[in-house]
Structure formats: structure tokens, C-alpha cells
């Protein structure tokens, strides 16, 4: 087995892979385009699931550290109508099994767990060339080059490693997300803070939704979803705001009173169930392998991918190609199942009464798991 692994991308999956490999006595180097861990925002809240995300963190020996990051009470859930009336509410009673943490804090925890020098910052990949016998030369924008005996693309939606394996590229889903923040919400926006509550809030109508999460302290992080075409980037935000005309002001304040510049994020996905033939010396994980619209599963799958790949490489030290083949076969199955299940949310969003249908889904799930 190669004693070193080259990982492109310092997201959750790539860092988790590097951590577990280091525990197995293997050297891993992570190359990241950002110049530092703080170069850009790292997203909002993540619910980490027992069977994949938490299992991966346990394999990494980081369960205690993970639990220190959990924000108590954030598993609370409520659905509102467009007038701000509460239609459904589920408190966080500690039995939900999906504790909430902030992505940036989880990423920093993984960074802190790695041997010094594992992550090479400011190394943006611009090209990869196959050298034969499973080896690849990777070229970075600063002119530096590295030869990888085993290359892992953990470089997200627009992966530069992916073309080695498949011609598939992310396609637009037809849904856009507007991301906004309200700071010191309990003091400055008390009506909105009350509407959101202590955890997650969703207010939905056919083809559109305002969703928000209470982050650490009294920060509200909102994601407004809208389906359909937006006519030009310059006035897209105005179009989104107009789509919620007449909704309760405590809800629309999440769009109009944002304390940072709103960020518009069109969503993309890779084909559900995509596969590729085994290519020696290279594989993908996380969004690079199975990008899907946001469904609460992406981070968990990336973490699990990283843990499983490390486990299989350690279990088959004399046959890394067999380990990669086993890893990919299982990854194809679990990512397809997750994407299919996650698509149900967006199908529901397009229904005549998505709030009613989502409440029914949540209630049914609670009955099954109780």
C-alpha cells in the first residue's frame, strides 16, 4: 500500500480522511486553494447523524471533541405559515440523535487534530496528468508540482480531479438559495427571533420557503429557497424578495434586514446514481463524487466517505486498488440512496401545501423511530 496519500481539498471529508489515515500510520498531505482556514466563511449549522457523521468522528477518535461543540437545544423544529402562525413544533428533548454544530467549528476541530504541516494552504490545483502505474502529477497555480501515488479528490462541486474519472459535471437544479444573517437578533429583531425559536424554523409555500437556524448566541442564519428561473443576477435578489410579498414582516425581515450582504447560491447536482469505471490510483469523495442539492446529508456523507476510505486502505495494505474498488462500490450505493431520499424534500416543496406534507413526514418519521 502507498504510505502517503495526496488529498485535494480541506473540507470536512478530506480532513477526516487525513485524520484517520494518520491514526493508521499513513502519511497524508492535504492541498487547499484557500490561503488560510479563515479565508472564507464555512457555512452554517450541521446536524451530525448517528450512523454516518458521528460514526466517522468516532473512527477518527474525536467523539469527545465533537460533543464539546454541540449547541444544546438546536434540534428544536417548528413550521410556520406565511402569516407567522406556528403550525407544528417539536422541542429538542435530547433524543433526536442529530446534534447540531457549526460547520466552521467542526472543520477547525479536524484541522487541530492533524499533525503539523498536513495541510498546505494556498495551493490551488490547476491541472492533473496521469503518469502511469496509478501515479499522477498535480500542478498548482503557484507553479509547484507534486507526484501522487494515491490521489483523492475531495475538492467539492467543481472538482478538478473528477475529470480523471468521469465526464459528469454539475447541472443546475432550477432552485436558488439566498443566504442572509441577523446578528444580536434577540435584541435587534425580537419578533423575528421569537418566530425562529430556539432551533430550526421553516415557513413554506409551493415552490418557495424561508428557513432559518439559530446559531451560537443569538445569530439567525437564514436560507430562502425559490424554484424557477431568475431573470439576471443584478435583480435576482429583488425578485426573491418580491416572491414573499405579503408574508409576515417577522419572516421577511430575514431577507430584508440582513446584517451582511446577501449571497445568492444557485444549486447544482451531479446525476443521481452516477458511477465510473475504476481508474488506478485515484478516487473521489464528498461533493466531488456525489453532489446533491442541500438535504442535510452532504456533510455526513463526506465524513463517512473519508472514514470508510481510510479504513479500507488500512484493511487491505497490499492491494490499494481492491480497497478503492470496494470503497467506490459502497459509496455509489449510499450516495444514490441519500440523493433519492433527499429529493423527496424538493418534491414536497413543489406540492400545493408543502408545510402540511412536511409536517406529515416529520410526524411519521418520529413514530417510526420512537
Same structural domain, 180 and 246: yes
Same structural domain, 117 and 147: yes
CA dihedral angle for residue 93, residue 94, residue 99, residue 101, rounded to 10 degrees: 80
312 in any annotated domain? yes
pTM, to two decimals: 0.93
18-69 confidence digits (pLDDT tens): 999 999 999 999 999 999 998 887 778 999 999 999 999 999 999 999 999 9
Host domain of residue 279: 4-69+100-169+271-349
Say what the pLDDT of residue 370 is: 46
* Residue 154 in grid coordinates: 475531495
Mean pLDDT of 96-124: 95
**With 0-12 CB in 10 A as exposed, 13-18 as middle and 19+ as buried, what is 139?**
middle
Higher pLDDT, 307 or 216: 307
Task: Quote the Cα angle for 365-368-369, to 5°.
Answer: 85
Q: How many angstroms separate the CA atoms of 34 and 121, rounded?
A: 6
* Residue 80 in grid coordinates: 410556520
126-176 confidence digits (pLDDT tens): 999 999 999 999 999 999 999 999 999 999 999 999 999 999 999 999 899
Say what the pLDDT of residue 293 is: 87
Say what the pLDDT of residue 368 is: 43
For residue 361, pLDDT beyond 80: no
Mean pLDDT of 220-231: 87
Same structural domain, 124 and 200: no
Same structural domain, 145 and 114: yes
Same structural domain, 193 and 109: no
Helix pair 354-369, 320-349: axis angle to 10 deg: 130
For residue 357, pLDDT beyond 90: no
Same structural domain, 139 and 221: no
Amino acid at each position: 500500500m502507498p504510505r502517503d496519500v495526496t488529498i485535494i481539498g480541506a473540507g470536512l471529508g478530506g480532513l477526516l480522511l487525513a485524520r484517520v489515515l494518520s491514526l493508521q500510520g499513513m502519511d497524508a498531505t492535504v492541498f487547499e486553494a484557500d490561503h488560510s482556514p479563515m479565508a472564507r466563511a464555512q457555512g452554517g449549522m450541521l446536524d451530525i447523524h448517528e450512523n454516518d457523521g458521528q460514526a466517522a468522528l468516532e473512527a477518527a477518535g474525536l467523539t469527545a471533541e465533537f460533543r464539546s461543540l454541540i449547541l444544546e437545544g438546536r434540534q428544536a423544529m417548528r413550521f410556520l405559515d406565511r402569516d407567522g402562525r406556528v403550525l407544528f413544533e417539536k422541542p429538542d428533548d435530547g433524543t433526536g440523535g442529530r446534534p447540531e454544530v457549526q460547520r466552521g467549528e467542526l472543520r477547525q476541530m479536524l484541522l487541530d487534530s492533524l499533525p503539523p504541516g498536513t495541510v498546505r494552504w494556498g495551493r490551488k490545483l490547476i491541472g492533473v496528468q496521469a503518469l502511469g502505474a496509478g501515479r499522477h502529477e498535480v500542478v498548482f497555480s503557484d507553479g509547484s508540482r507534486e507526484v501522487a501515488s494515491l490521489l483523492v479528490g475531495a475538492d467539492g462541486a467543481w472538482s478538478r480531479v473528477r475529470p480523471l474519472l468521469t465526464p459528469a459535471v454539475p447541472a443546475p437544479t432550477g432552485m436558488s438559495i439566498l443566504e442572509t444573517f441577523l446578528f444580536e437578533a434577540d435584541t435587534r429583531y425580537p419578533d423575528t427571533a421569537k418566530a425562529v425559536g430556539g432551533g430550526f424554523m421553516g415557513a413554506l409555500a409551493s415552490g418557495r420557503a424561508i428557513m432559518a437556524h439559530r446559531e451560537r448566541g443569538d445569530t439567525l442564519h437564514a436560507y430562502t429557497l425559490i424554484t424557477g428561473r431568475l431573470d439576471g443576477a443584478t435583480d435576482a435578489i429583488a425578485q426573491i424578495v418580491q416572491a414573499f410579498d405579503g408574508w409576515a414582516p417577522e419572516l421577511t425581515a430575514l431577507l430584508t434586514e440582513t446584517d451582511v450582504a446577501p449571497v445568492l447560491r444557485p444549486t447544482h447536482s451531479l446525476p443521481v446514481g452516477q458511477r465510473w469505471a475504476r481508474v488506478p490510483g485515484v478516487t473521489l469523495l464528498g461533493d466531488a463524487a456525489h453532489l446533491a442539492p442541500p438535504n442535510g446529508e452532504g456533510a455526513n456523507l463526506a465524513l463517512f466517505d473519508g472514514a470508510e476510505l481510510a479504513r479500507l486502505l488500512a484493511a487491505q495494505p497490499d492491494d490499494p486498488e481492491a480497497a478503492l474498488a470496494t470503497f467506490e462500490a459502497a459509496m455509489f450505493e449510499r450516495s444514490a440512496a441519500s440523493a433519492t431520499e433527499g429529493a423527496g424534500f424538493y418534491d414536497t416543496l413543489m406540492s400545493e401545501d408543502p408545510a402540511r406534507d412536511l409536517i406529515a413526514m416529520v410526524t411519521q418519521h418520529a413514530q417510526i423511530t420512537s
